[in-house]
């Protein structure tokens, strides 16, 4: 008796299993990347009220990060520079520049400029800038090489998994205090020995499994 179905139909179950597996893996990979902060957040660079070049100020002029962000070593929160900081220089440098009109207006009416924050973590997450700088984590490790940015851009996802990666193995991120704002610092060959010494000296124990370390 002639067969009703062609011979290849005997393998339909195999074809379906392989196709289903491929679709599931592709779907998971798609969501894993395109729904992650690496895709949705990294690259964010909002337009600021006043064009400010970190490349000019931090790189060409060599101004230390802590001149403008003066509280990062002693406060849990990184400060957004007030107008006073800008005017410390620009009362004498380019005092008539049209690009600085909003800065001068802010100074005149005593109302701070509303800068758009680029690096922001969730409100339910506790992050202490001073504690990380005390430990020896440099600016570039979280913010990227800001000294080369004309427009500040988010370079790291600032996600929970990204933070935990560092907390599980902080050794490669720890550096001497004098290198904290060095955007081009590279870990030396004896980085492991240095990290062990600094962790012992400063009693560094970044929370990994204790949720209250970051969620208080």
Given this model, what pLDDT does residue 2 score?
A: 61
What would the pLDDT profile of 1-35 be if each residue is shown by its tens digit? 566 777 777 778 888 888 899 999 999 988 888 88
- The tokens 């704002």 sit on which residue? 181
Residue 10 has a CB neighbour count (10 Å cut-off) of 10
Find out whether 37 and 103 touch, Cβ atoms under 8 Å.
no
Cα dist from 156 to 35, 83, 215, whole Å: 15, 27, 20
CA 128 to the chain's CA centroid: 14
- d(CA 158, CA 203) in angstroms, rounded, equals 25
Confidence grade of residue 79 (pLDDT, cut at 50, 70, 90): confident
Confidence grade of residue 57 (pLDDT, cut at 50, 70, 90): very high
Q: Find, among 65, 78, 3, 45, the residue nearest to 154 by Cα.
A: 45
Given this model, what pLDDT does residue 29 score?
A: 87
CA 68 to the chain's CA centroid: 18
| Section 168-189 average pLDDT | 94
Confidence grade of residue 166 (pLDDT, cut at 50, 70, 90): very high
Q: What are phi and psi of 137, to 5 degrees?
A: -85, 125
What would the pLDDT profile of 59-68 be if each residue is shown by its tens digit? 999 999 999 9
Domain ranges of the chain: 13-40, 54-80+115-213
Average model confidence (pLDDT) across the chain: 92
Residue 113 has a CB neighbour count (10 Å cut-off) of 18
- The tokens 């800068």 sit on which residue? 115
């Amino acid at each position: 008796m002639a067969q009703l179905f062609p011979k290849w139909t005997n393998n339909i179950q195999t074809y379906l299993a392989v196709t289903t597996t491929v679709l599931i893996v592709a779907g998971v990979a798609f969501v894993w990347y395109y729904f992650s902060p690496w895709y949705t957040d990294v690259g964010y660079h909002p337009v600021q009220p006043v064009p400010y070049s970190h490349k000019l100020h931090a790189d060409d002029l060599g101004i230390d990060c802590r001149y403008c962000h003066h509280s990062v070593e002693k406060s849990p929160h990184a400060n957004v520079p007030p107008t006073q900081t800008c005017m410390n220089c620009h009362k004498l440098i380019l005092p008539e520049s049209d690009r600085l009109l909003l800065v001068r207006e802010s100074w005149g009416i005593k109302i701070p400029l509303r800068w758009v924050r680029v690096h922001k973590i969730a409100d339910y997450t506790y992050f202490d800038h001073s504690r990380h700088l005390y430990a020896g984590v440099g600016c570039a490790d979280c913010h990227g090489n800001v000294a080369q940015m004309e427009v500040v851009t988010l370079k790291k996802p600032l996600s929970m998994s990204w933070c935990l990666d560092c907390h599980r193995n902080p050794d490669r991120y720890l550096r001497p205090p004098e290198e904290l704002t060095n955007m081009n610092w590279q870990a030396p060959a004896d980085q492991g020995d240095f990290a062990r010494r600094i962790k012992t000296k400063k009693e560094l124990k970044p929370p990994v499994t204790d949720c209250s370390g970051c969620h208080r």
